[in-house]
Each structure stands twice: as C-alpha cells, then as structure tokens.
C-alpha cells in the first residue's frame, strides 16, 4: 500500500515536472515567434490591416501599440496619433538612406508608413538643390506669362499638342477637368470637404509637359518633345531639374520597396523607360481671384508625383482618413504624392492621394507680400503661382495588377477590385476621363 502511494507520488511529480517543462517551452516558443514577427515588421502590418478589413474610418495608427511602431526613434508621429497638420508630418531623411547611416532601415519603414497612411512623403533630399528650384520657377514664370500673353491676344500656340493628348508641350487653362468624385466626399464634415465645385469645372491652371529620360523604341507613350521658341536655356534647365526630381522619385521608390518588405528594385525596375514628365503648372494670380479653382479635386495618374516647393500656398491634400490638410513644404524638402498606378500595383495598400489647388486667402496673402517686396525693391515680378511638378511613371507595357509579393499587406477583397491592365492602358483611361484626349469633348 505504501509502495503504491510512493509510486503515485512519483507519478504526480513526473507529470508536474513535465507540465512545467511544457509551459517553459511554450513560453520560449511564443517569445521567439513574437520576436521574429516583430523583426519582420509583420505585427505592424497585421495591426495596419485590421482597420482596412473592418473598413473603419479610424486611422490605422490608432491600432498600433507604441512599442511596435517606432522603437527608440524620432518618428513622434508614429506614436499612435494621426497627423492633423503638416507640422506633425515626419520628414524622410534621404541622406541617411543614401549613405546607409545608422537608422536607414527605419527611414525606409517611415516611407512605407507615410505612403500607406498619408499618401505623401516629405522628402529631404540633399541632391535637390533649393536654388535650382528657384531658378527653374523663374524660367517657368517667364514662359507662362509669355505664352498666355500670346494666347489671350488670339495667337495660336504652336507648342500646344492636343493630338498628343497634351502629354508634351503646353496645356492652356480651361482644358483639363477633374473626374467627378462627389459621391466620395459628400459625407465628409464641412471642414474636410473640397473647396472646388461639384460637378467639377475646368481648371484655371496652365501646364507644360517635358519628357524626362529615355523611352523604349516604339513606346506608345513616346510623343515627340516640344521646345518653345525664345528660351535658349530651356532644354538644359528643364532636363537638369527634371533629372533631380526623377532621381528623388527613384530613391523614394527604392525606400518604399524596402519598407514594404520587397526587393529594393521592385518598383524602380518597372519605372525604367517610363513616360516620366516634368509637368510644371502655372496659374495667373492677377487674372484670377480668390475662389478660383486652379486644379479641381483629383488624384494623379502617375506612380509618384514629385513637387518642389512653390512660392504660393493653395495646394490641399486628403489623407487616408479623409482629413484635409493645407500643404506647407518645409524649406529644403520635396513633397511626393502617390498616384493611381501606385494604388493599383499595391492593391490599395497605398492609395492615390486626392488633392486640389485653390486660389485661397493664404494664396492672396502671399501675393500681397510679393507686391510689397516689389514696391520696396522697385523690381517687377511675374505674379504667377508655379508648381514644380514631375510625374514618374511605370513603363507603358508594365502590368500594374496588384503585385503578388505585396499580398501580405493587402486586403484581398479590396485588391480584387483592381483589374489587370498595363500602365499605358491606365494612362489612357485617366486621360479620357479628364478631357485630355483629342477625342474627348472640351468646354
């Protein structure tokens, strides 16, 4: 009987010991799995997908535990509270990435994070010289003033090419008209509603399209370059600034790919030979007045749109959570915004950023300042709002269907709404929808 009790006791001890070992092993395995997932940023991704799956309007940041988002870094924005003004937006430190300084991987994560949540990047690229942006804006102010004087005097502008869907040369005012996105914005609170009217009116902005980089022989989107008369340094200045912006866009694409867990060249290899366009816009601040729609509420067709700093405010953007923000680009930075090709290829993980450009009270105040400076210095200035813009594109034949390699970031239901198409088909679809093709009706 005693032996029997001893056996029972030994059995209980063995079982108890085995249970403790199991618990210890299970704890260690859970810890290792957690560490592994954290290292792979998969936890972040899981948390980011939750709101997409539930179709919640709460920004994904609200779901992110602080420790999982921005370990010991200066991404104060990534601490759970969504940005409510431009001052709260993180700035991408491109030098850290280019020189692979400590923290470069976090800069790539920052790029992916900002593109997903905000659709934009504030990009401090040391290669994009501010002085060059200023000289380029001077050139464009002169061009737009000169071309519009001729246009209003009834002269035909030989550099306007509707037969090439305005994808090279000048697009005068009142040609482009945004798609009607009223259904998407009608429920927004007043402060987040677009200021531009619905149904959209024609844009009051002008634009010039100048091809940057080489296209593959016979590419569908390779229209002949158009050079305006009377600007001897045009080609050199346009190419120089255009290459700087494209270089910045290419770096952003590399950082985005790395930040999303892809090969560094996943996007850039698709951009080689793309129909990149330096596409500055110009709006006459004397002929127009407060309330004028310089560019109606829209998104861009491009993969990434890259902007230098403008001399006048007026650009407003919408974040993923539909919050409207007035753009203020910090000195020495570029602004990038995702276009529809980026949205398509990421199956909606990155959304194309809605934006509009209005002649508003801030624009007017900046204009009054410039007029005061003119009066003080006695120097005439051209009073046009120029936006130094470059559209970076995928090569025309690239399939922009949602990439399988990005499946871990996508909501499969949402991703399924993006049909199979090439970058060129996307371009033509959007141009037709915005009155830019020769066969669409103009006002």
In the complex, the residues that contact Fe ion under the rule CB under 5 A are: 300
In the bound state with Fe ion, the residue whose beta carbon lies nearer, of 125 and 300, is 300
* Least distance to Fe ion, CB of residue 234, Å: 23
- DSSP character string of 327-389: --PPTT-EEEEE-HHHHHHTTTSSPPPPEEEE--HHHHHHHHHHHHHHHHH------EEEE-E
Q: How many CB atoms lie within 10 A of CB 359?
A: 24
In the bound state with Fe ion, the residue whose beta carbon lies nearer, of 110 and 324, is 324
In the bound state with Fe ion, the residue whose beta carbon lies nearer, of 93 and 300, is 300
In the bound state with Fe ion, the residue whose beta carbon lies nearer, of 261 and 353, is 353
Residue nearest Fe ion (C-beta atom): 300
β 206-211/334-338 pair status: unpaired
Q: Which helix (H) or strand (E) holds 315?
A: strand 315-318
Q: Identify the burial level of 230 via C-beta atoms within 10 angstroms of its C-beta, where 0-12 means exposed, 13-18 middle and 19 or more buried.
A: exposed
Residue 306 and residue 389 in contact, taking contact as beta carbons nearer than 8 Å: yes
Residue given tokens 């029997």 in the structure block: 4
Q: Identify the burial level of 151 via C-beta atoms within 10 angstroms of its C-beta, where 0-12 means exposed, 13-18 middle and 19 or more buried.
A: middle
* Least distance to Fe ion, CB of residue 300, Å: 4
* Least distance to Fe ion, CB of residue 276, Å: 15
In the bound state with Fe ion, the residue whose beta carbon lies nearer, of 244 and 298, is 298
344 - beta bridge partners?
A: none
* Least distance to Fe ion, CB of residue 165, Å: 16
**What spatial distance separates the first Cα and last Cα of the chain, rounded to whole Å?**
105
Residue 387 and residue 310 in contact, taking contact as beta carbons nearer than 8 Å: yes
* Least distance to Fe ion, CB of residue 188, Å: 19
* Least distance to Fe ion, CB of residue 93, Å: 26
In the bound state with Fe ion, the residue whose beta carbon lies nearer, of 260 and 386, is 386
Dihedral pair phi/psi, residue 208, rounded to 5°: -125, 135
In the bound state with Fe ion, the residue whose beta carbon lies nearer, of 226 and 304, is 304
* Least distance to Fe ion, CB of residue 108, Å: 26
């Amino acid at each position: 009987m005693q032996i029997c009790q001893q056996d029972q006791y030994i059995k209980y001890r063995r079982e108890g010991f085995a249970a403790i070992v199991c618990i210890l092993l299970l704890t260690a395995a859970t810890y290792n799995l957690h560490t592994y997932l954290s290292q792979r940023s998969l936890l972040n991704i899981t948390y980011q997908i939750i709101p997409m799956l539930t179709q919640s309007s709460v920004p994904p940041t609200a779901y992110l535990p602080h420790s999982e988002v921005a370990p010991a870094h200066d991404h104060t924005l990534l601490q759970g509270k969504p940005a409510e003004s431009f001052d709260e937006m993180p700035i991408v430190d491109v030098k850290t990435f280019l020189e692979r300084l400590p923290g470069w991987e976090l800069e790539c994560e920052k790029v992916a994070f900002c593109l997903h949540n905000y659709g934009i990047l504030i990009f401090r690229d040391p290669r994009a010289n501010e002085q060059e942006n200023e000289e380029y804006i001077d050139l464009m102010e002169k061009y737009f003033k000169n071309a519009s004087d001729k246009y209003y005097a009834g002269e035909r502008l030989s550099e306007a090419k509707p037969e090439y869907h305005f994808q090279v040369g000048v697009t005068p005012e009142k040609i482009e008209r945004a798609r009607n996105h009223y259904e998407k914005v009608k429920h927004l609170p007043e402060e987040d509603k677009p200021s531009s009217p619905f149904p959209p009116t024609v844009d009051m902005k002008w634009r010039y399209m100048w091809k940057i980089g080489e296209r593959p022989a016979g590419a569908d989107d390779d229209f002949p370059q158009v050079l305006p008369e009377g600007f001897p340094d045009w080609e050199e200045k346009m190419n120089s600034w255009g290459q700087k912006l494209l270089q910045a866009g290419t770096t952003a694409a590399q950082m985005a790919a790395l930040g999303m867990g892809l090969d560094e060249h996943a996007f850039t290899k698709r951009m080689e030979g793309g129909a990149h366009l330096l596409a500055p816009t110009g709006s006459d601040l004397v002929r127009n007045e407060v309330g004028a729609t310089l560019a109606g509420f829209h998104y861009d067709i491009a993969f990434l749109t890259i902007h230098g700093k403008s001399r006048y405010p007026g650009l407003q953007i919408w974040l993923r959570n539909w919050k409207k923000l007035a753009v203020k680009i910090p000195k020495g930075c570029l602004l990038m915004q995702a276009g529809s090709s980026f949205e398509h290829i990421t199956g909606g993980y990155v959304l194309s950023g809605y934006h509009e450009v209005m002649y508003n009270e801030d624009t007017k105040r900046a204009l009054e300042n410039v007029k005061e400076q003119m009066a003080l210095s006695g120097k005439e200035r051209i009073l046009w709002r120029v936006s130094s813009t470059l559209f970076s594109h995928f090569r025309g034949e690239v399939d922009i269907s949602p990439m399988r390699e990005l499946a871990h970031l996508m909501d499969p239901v949402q991703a399924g709404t993006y049909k199979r198409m090439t970058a060129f088909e996307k371009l033509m679809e959007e141009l037709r929808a915005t009155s830019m093709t020769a066969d669409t009706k103009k006002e």
